[in-house]
Amino acid sequence: MTDANSTMTVTEPEKVRRSPYSAIAPRLEQWRRQFYYFRKSPLAVAGLIITAFFAFLAIFSPLLTTGNPYQMAINPFATNLIPWFSSWRYPLGTTYFGVNLLPAMIKAARIDLAFSLAVVATGAFVGVMVGAFAGYYGGLFDDILMRVTDVFFSVPYIILAIAMIVVFTKSFKDVAGGIYTLLILSLIVIWWPTYARIVRGQVLSVRELKYVEAARASGAGALRVVFKHIIPNSMYPVFVQISLDVGTIVLLLANLDFINIGISNITQPEWGNLATYFNYAQVGLTLALQYPWTFIVPGMAILLYALGLNLLGDGIRDILDPRMRR
Amino acid sequence: MGVATLVSENIYMDVRHLKQLFPIKGGVMSRAIGHVHAVDDISFRIMEGETVGLVGESGCGKTTTGRTLLRLLEPTSGYSFVNPPAEVVKELDEIFSGLEDDSGSLLDGEISSTRLDEIAREYSIYGVKGKKLKQMRSSMQIVFQDPFASLDPRMLVKDIIAEPLVAHHAANKSDIAERVSSLITEVGLNQEHLYRFPHEFSGGQRQRICVARALALNPKFVVLDEPTSALDVSVQAQILNLLRRLQEKNEMTYLFISHHLSVIRAMCSRVLVMYLGKMVEIAETEELFLHPLHPYTQALVSAIPIPDPLLKRERIIIGGDVPSAASPPSGCRFRTRCEFAEDVCREKEPQLEEWNNTGHLVACHLVHRMDKRIINAAERASVYAGEHADARLHN
Amino acid sequence: MKMWTYIVRRLLAMIPVILGVTLLTFLLTRAQIGLWIASLLGRIRTPSARLAIIRQYHLNAPVYVQYFYYLEGLVTGHWGFTSGNDLVAGAYRPVLQVMIERFPNTVELAVLSVILVVIFSIPLGVISAVQRDKIPDHLSRLWAMISYSIPTFWFALLLLFAVSHYVSIFALTGSLSTSPVNYYLTSTGAYQPWVSHQGGLILGTKPTGLLLVDTLLYGDFPAFINGFEHIILPALIVALTNMGVIVRYLRSSMLDVMGQDYVRTARAKGVTEKIVINRHVKRNAYTSTVTIMGLLLAGLLGGVVIVEDIFAWPGIGYWLAQAAIVDDFASIMAGVFVFAIVVVIANLVVDILYAYLDPRVRLG
């Protein structure tokens, strides 16, 4: 019996190879090799750990926080409306209105992560589609796209965001999600040109490659060529940009919160909002400097989050673009 | 030779006045300030089942011709009729003789003939649309020069080979898998190679994969764009043999593009010689090597290394550089480097004409004065062909 | 291609971008046409004035006609009226006037920030490339990363907190101290011409509008020092939070150049490492780094807005941050336009400079 089995495997290796696992195996091997370079860079590993930590917080935030961090805010007679620090009940202190910072920040992790992913994923999707087709077809569509991206690139993000929010804030009063929807939509509008530009640049070089021509020669239509060959081979800078932008979006949101046109509701746990609670007080800045942890602690979360993603993005760049690996 | 016996009387492809100009942009507004004449008004025929060689130095428009024939590039103008019936060819001859002037070049202005448009919509690959175009395309494939660049690095070999089948919705999933595995054995690779990425293969193996992909749809016509020039010499022969074997088996027509004359001689039944976007000579292979008529062809033929160290080599060295294809010389394009050039070469453009009613076409005003050189070249060629006993006596 | 052809072509390429920006602001004004009409009306909000505006800008006509008249308004300087309250001059001032008044201050802050970015990032980038994959490299890359990831307002508050033990923050906000004691008399005892309101100079006292330049022109060193004390912290913050781009780009272009054959040849000739770096590598790396100065400026101006808001710096950014809260529509639109023009012109200058430094660009 054993003999029969062994001859089977020897004479028909293709049977073994054709299992669905085998189709993935070469890719796994490729990834393993790429991960080796990733591991060699301490900064990239640090980035991965930080990002994983925040992802963990975001996913398990309901389990990690019990009760309502805003509980004390509800009680108008609460004694500790003045921020506290260094008490074990409030490990990271409380901020104004007695909000307990640690659980509020853990709750905020989920919102910030979801917010930035929503913006970046949609922006990247739109940008990649537009950029890929514009780059592939060229011509007038491409020219127009380039001028549009030029326009978006020539105005600082934050100014564009301010303009969008000021213009549309009234229209979004009654929309589901309110200010969140408005912020996400305006940031998508601001962000997609970045991706369109990156992808277009890649496509311009990829479409000239021989294997794209070979695909066209074998009869593949434009759609198939773009989706099967051009987009997969143009994606690496997009992945890098995505990981960088997921951090940048939260930074921008925090800055918008600071100038009071982002999320400005006391009960919304969002890092930028938590870091700018002093805005709700009459003498904002001086008060902030009096209780520095109220902005330092949530701001530190933003810094670490963005830093982790930037390091991760840099590591991914090193993997995917060996040219940059030196 | 085995190759020659397959050639039939049917015309597979009838190319007429094909032109491919690329604009050069410049100035403040990036307007086209000139054109690169990559392929400039060439006409030729490819018979069913034959292997046609296309020779010329790099930059002369060989590859552009190959790509344009498959409509990978849209031509600036011209026609390429695929599989035209004999009566259509006859009609085309009539139409074109009306449109051409005495010397054979097209009359000024747009080619306008409703009947021609009709035929083009039916037979010319640049005229057909939709389903018919797809069908025509599936019968024509290409193998590129660089096997390292022509395979998508992110796809498994099995997906690469299956691509034409999937793109043409030629079969269902299990049929495709079956076809792919039969193709991979046909080109001399193993089943287990199907689940690898292109970067795991050597150049020769990759070229086999390219051939398998080209054969997936059972094409009638394959353009081989220098399929061996990126490979080691030892591998080249294997690939050539593979190609020849497959041609016999599948009854295919090849357009074999190469700058390597020995390879051309081994593979082709007929040879087209190109210089700077123009056809300068068309002849049967042996005829061409025995009687190279055009000075350019003579130089090319004389450059073939002769496998006999005792023989004195009498190489014709062409002086100067290839003129820019953006501003080709007037008259005969080769005149700037031709040692025989006369005034007539500058004034008038030579057309392809038959030499001594032999079916050997050459575009040279001075061909009747070439006799001496032809004899010399013929001697050299015969030496090359292995009849060098006599030749050695001369030395 | 000749240099002038390149410049002309580059100038022509600016036009569609600027038109695109006006189209963008135009579309935004159409989205809130009521607010826009109110901005154009300013203080006098009678129905007849409203009708006059609608007639003047052809707001009942098809959209492309409206765009044309919108452009006409922009070109002739009718940018609407502010609705935010300027503590010096009150509300409903022409936006163009406000922008012109505040523009030099923003430019001054941005230029000083760019200078600081260059000063800080060149040594970091060079060290990073020369000591590749060693501790200094990791540290400088880490700092580059941090500078990307740091929230501007947070960093500003942190620095303010750090210095607030030594200086009152009121001595740091604005562009000049309002207290007269320090510098109404110059060092020679003569009366000096500075008149400041809200931490900024008023119009008549500004030859160039750039405070540091003006004070030097008048020879008023105490005022210069006072102005410098005010500008240095904001500029430092903007520079530190934006220098990452340059450090990274410089590092990678240095490494690029160091891998080139001519550098290897120089080493093979026996040229010392120091001379190789100084003579061959740095020059070429700096040249290619010029290309991203435009990008740097676009990012940096975003930081300028936040920092101006924190330090009450009398520039456009501060004005915009205030305008955003009170829905000062005309100011926001003007801000988009002004910043876009600044960035476009900066890019133009950078491109021409680069074409001058690297002739290969002109050929492309």
CATH of domain C97-316: 1.10.3720
Q: How confident is the model at residue B395 (pLDDT cuts 50, 70, 90)?
A: very low
Q: How far is A184 from chain B (nearest CA, A)?
A: 33
Assigned domain for A171 exists = yes
**C158-201: pLDDT as tens digits:** 999 988 888 887 777 777 765 443 444 333 333 444 555 555 55
Chain B residues close to A234, C-beta within 8 Å: none
Sheet holding B361-362, edge to edge: B140-143, B221-225, B253-257, B51-55, B270-275, B278-284, B361-362, B353-354
Assigned domain for A78 exists = no
Q: How far is C353 from chain B (nearest CA, A)?
A: 18
Question: Torsion over CA of C46, C50, C51 and C55, rounded to 10 degrees?
Answer: 150
CB B64 within 8 A of CB B73: yes
CB A107 within 8 A of CB A268: no
pLDDT at A78 over 80: no
How many residues are recorded in chain A?
326
What is residue C295's predicted lDDT score, i.e. its pLDDT? 83
What is residue C106's predicted lDDT score, i.e. its pLDDT? 92
pLDDT at A322 over 90: no
CB contact under 8 A, A285 and C160: yes
Secondary-structure percent of chain A, ordered helix, strand, coil, rounded to 5: 75, 0, 20
Range with the poorest average pLDDT among A211-220, B152-161, C91-100, C163-172: C163-172
CATH code assigned at A309: 1.10.3720.10
| Domain parsing of chain C, residue ranges | 3-76, 97-316
Q: How confident is the model at residue B372 (pLDDT cuts 50, 70, 90)?
A: low
CB contact under 8 A, A43 and C138: yes
What is residue C20's predicted lDDT score, i.e. its pLDDT? 93
User: What SS3 class is residue B311?
Assistant: coil
Residue B213, burial from CB neighbour count under 10 angstroms (0-12, 13-18, 19+): buried
What is residue C211's predicted lDDT score, i.e. its pLDDT? 79
Q: How far is C28 from chain A (nearest CA, A)?
A: 7
Instruction: Write the CB contacts of C348 (distance below 8 Å, at least 6 apart in sequence).
Output: C10, C11, C14
**C216-225: pLDDT as tens digits:** 777 777 778 8
Q: How confident is the model at residue B254 (pLDDT cuts 50, 70, 90)?
A: very high
Instruction: Write the CB contacts of B118 (distance below 8 Å, at least 6 apart in sequence).
Output: none
Q: How confident is the model at residue B103 (pLDDT cuts 50, 70, 90)?
A: low
pLDDT at A248 over 50: yes
User: What SS3 class is residue A276?
Assistant: coil
ipTM reported for the complex, 2 dp? 0.87
**C53-109: pLDDT as tens digits:** 999 898 888 999 999 999 999 999 889 898 877 665 667 888 998 888 888 889 999
Q: Which of residues 295-324 of C touch A (CB under 8 A)?
A: 298-299, 301-302, 305-306, 309-310, 320-321, 323-324
| Cα torsion C3, C5, C11, C17: sign | negative
Secondary-structure percent of chain B, ordered helix, strand, coil, rounded to 5: 40, 20, 40
CB contact under 8 A, A303 and C149: yes
Q: How confident is the model at residue B291 (pLDDT cuts 50, 70, 90)?
A: confident
Stretch B252-260: mean pLDDT: 91
Pairing of strands B353-354, B361-362: antiparallel
Q: How far is B32 from chain C (nearest CA, A)?
A: 15
Place of tokens 């902030």: A288
Assigned domain for A15 exists = no
Instruction: Write the CB contacts of A126 (distance below 8 Å, at least 6 apart in sequence).
Output: A188, A192, A195, A196
Chain A residues close to B167, C-beta within 8 Å: 215, 218-221, 224
Of A22, A210, A232, the CB nearest to B150: A210
Range with the poorest average pLDDT among A30-34, A70-74, B345-349, C279-283: A70-74
Range of the domain at A263: 55-67+92-325
User: Which among C9, C11, C14 is the top mutation candidate for probing chain B, defined by the most B β-carbons within 10 Å of its own β-carbon?
Assistant: C9
Domain count of the fold of chain A:
1
Of the candidates B284, B287, B333, the one whose C-alpha atom is nearest the C-alpha of residue B60 is B333
Range with the poorest average pLDDT among A77-91, A147-161, A296-310, B216-230: A77-91
**Residue C197 vs residues A113, B58, B133, C176: alpha-carbon distances, Å:** 44, 75, 77, 9
What chain B residue is nearest to C4 in terms of C-alpha separation? B28
Of the candidates C179, C120, C129, the one whose C-alpha atom is nearest the C-alpha of residue C300 is C120
What whole-number distance in Å separates Cα of residue B55 and Cα of residue B39? Answer: 14
What is residue C226's predicted lDDT score, i.e. its pLDDT? 81
A296 touches chain C (CB under 8 A): yes
Chain C residues close to A287, C-beta within 8 Å: none
A144 touches chain C (CB under 8 A): no
pLDDT at A10 over 60: no
Q: How confident is the model at residue A220 (pLDDT cuts 50, 70, 90)?
A: confident
pLDDT at B279 over 50: yes
User: What SS3 class is residue B258?
Assistant: coil
Secondary-structure percent of chain C, ordered helix, strand, coil, rounded to 5: 75, 5, 25
CB C316 within 8 A of CB C338: yes
What is residue A12's predicted lDDT score, i.e. its pLDDT? 41
Greater confidence (A265 vs B85) lies with: B85
What is residue C197's predicted lDDT score, i.e. its pLDDT? 54
Assigned domain for A12 exists = no
Q: Which chains reach chain B with 3 or more Cβ–Cβ distances below 8 angstroms?
A: A, C
Assigned domain for A291 exists = yes
Burial B268-287 (b: 16+ CB within 10 A, else e): bbbbbbbbbbbbbbbbbbeb
Of B141, B151, B156, the CB nearest to A217: B141
Q: How confident is the model at residue A39 (pLDDT cuts 50, 70, 90)?
A: confident
What is residue A81's predicted lDDT score, i.e. its pLDDT? 60
Beta strands in B77-154 (DSSP E): 77-82, 140-143
What is residue B313's predicted lDDT score, i.e. its pLDDT? 59
Structure tokens at B113: 């003939």
Q: How far is A277 from chain B (nearest CA, A)?
A: 49
What chain A residue is nearest to C326 in terms of C-alpha separation? A166
Assigned domain for A137 exists = yes
